[in-house]
Amino acid sequence: MQNVYDILTERGFLKQCSHPEELRELLGREKVTFYIGFDPTADSLHIGHYVALMTMAHMQRAGHKPIVLLGGGTAMIGDPSGKSDMRRMMTNEEIDHNAACFQKQMARLLDFSEGKAIVVNNAEWLRSLNFLEFMRDIGVLFSVNRMLTAECYKQRMERGLTFFELSYMLMQSYDFLVLNQKYGCILQMGGDDQWSNILNGADLIRRKEQKPAFALTTALLTTSEGKKMGKTEKGALWLDPNKCSVYDFYQYWRNIDDADVENCLSLLTFLPMADIRAMCEEGGAALNAAKRTLAFTLTEQVHGTEEALKAQQAAEALFGGGGDLSHMPTVVLSAADIESTGLRVTDLLVLGNLSKSKSDARRLIESGAVLLDDEKVADVYAAIPAEKLESGAILKKGKKGFVRILKG
């Protein structure tokens, strides 16, 4: 079996590693317990988390044991990495609810049966932590001067950094120590923006326990230009279909730039690298087919085969003249909706989440970006004829925004 370290390297996951040669040799020789932490600051994972989940899945398939650490404790502080302002403080109830949502979504990709993976919540030890004992045993091993050189803190120094947030690195490092002591965990993995936090955890174990411990970071999901992926006009690309429709999720991947297809297939699917390279090297029609493969495969992994097929059929109905329109995003108008909107296109663009406001909708119409059943809408006061609602009228915004309007 190929060493998982080489698999992660070949597929573009690997960014930084504290002891690369030692870790590679260890992963090829024995089963390793490792962990990745997820702070449940929302009630759904988003696509930014998915690279971490894929990393865990590759490791698990190679025989290693993942620990999913849900940050029921650290989420009360909030990681300052990449944040210009302090996060909103959350209640225990909010955090616990979000953690339960995370675990359910993770089960689509990770095997939690028969102890093959462990789910732990750091609230178990952090919420009851004795501050004085913690500072005496752990805080004494951290240099504030060194901590402030970390990128996650340097970005916040000009606008202000609270001691509350400064302690996040200590908490995350302590998590690694606890998992090492309780479960024999020797490897922490995470996104490359977490390098300072992860490295300090490994250093803490090596200093306090005199044992090997390793830090490894993976690539963030970015475009070829270095911009973070996973944002749509409607918001983040959530894994919960109630927060981001399956159709919108599918269409996002169907419409990514050509330059990003190979990287996304490598990081977000399990397709063999030889197949991925073959699809992407040819360009043209082959690259367009690769986008369809990416969209369907990733949607299937996240939402299941049935939902992926529905999204694919809806896309084909819109772009290829075939398929089932019933699976595309749909707004069903009540009698009250019809009365309040007067079936005005501007109102329906807002109702269908194709526009943020009526003024924005008017600008879209004036720029020629709005179509009603493939005919350009030129009048900002235009309304949809009521008879069109029986079979469904399709509003389009540009090339990527669609909604079907039906009478309830």
Ordered by start, the domain boundaries in the chain are: 4-218, 231-324, 330-407
Looking only at Cα atoms, what is the longest distance across the chain? Answer: 76
Phi and psi, residue 96, nearest 5°: -65, -40
User: Does 83 participate in catalysis according to the annotation?
Assistant: yes
User: Does 154 participate in catalysis according to the annotation?
Assistant: no
Sign of CA dihedral 224, 226, 231, 236: positive
Per CATH, the number for 330-407 is 3.10.290.10
Active-site hit among 64, 83, 243, 358:
83
Active-site hit among 228, 277, 356, 363:
228
User: Does 60 participate in catalysis according to the annotation?
Assistant: no
Q: Are 88 and 31 in contact (CB under 8 A)?
A: no
Assign 175 to helix, strand or coil. helix
Note the pLDDT of residue 152: 65
User: Does 305 participate in catalysis according to the annotation?
Assistant: no
Domain 231-324: state its class: mainly alpha
Active-site hit among 11, 39, 49, 79:
49
Note the pLDDT of residue 402: 78
Active-site hit among 103, 232, 243, 297:
232
User: Does 46 participate in catalysis according to the annotation?
Assistant: yes
User: Does 162 participate in catalysis according to the annotation?
Assistant: no
> Going residue by residue through the chain (408 aa), what tens digit of pLDDT does each one get?
799 999 999 999 999 999 999 999 999 999 999 999 998 889 999 999 999 999 999 999 999 999 999 988 877 665 445 444 445 567 778 888 888 899 899 999 999 999 899 999 998 998 888 989 989 989 888 877 777 777 666 666 667 677 777 788 898 999 999 999 999 999 999 999 899 899 999 999 999 999 999 999 999 999 988 998 987 666 789 999 999 989 889 999 999 999 999 999 999 999 999 999 999 988 788 899 999 999 999 999 999 999 999 999 888 877 665 556 666 778 888 888 888 888 888 888 888 888 888 888 898 888 888 888 878 888 888 888 888 777 778 888 887 777 888 787
User: Does 303 participate in catalysis according to the annotation?
Assistant: no
| Rg of the chain on CA atoms, in Å | 24
User: Does 15 participate in catalysis according to the annotation?
Assistant: no
> Which CATH superfamily does the domain covering 4-218 fall into?
HUPs (3.40.50.620)
Angle ∠(217,222,224) on CA atoms, nearest 5 = 120
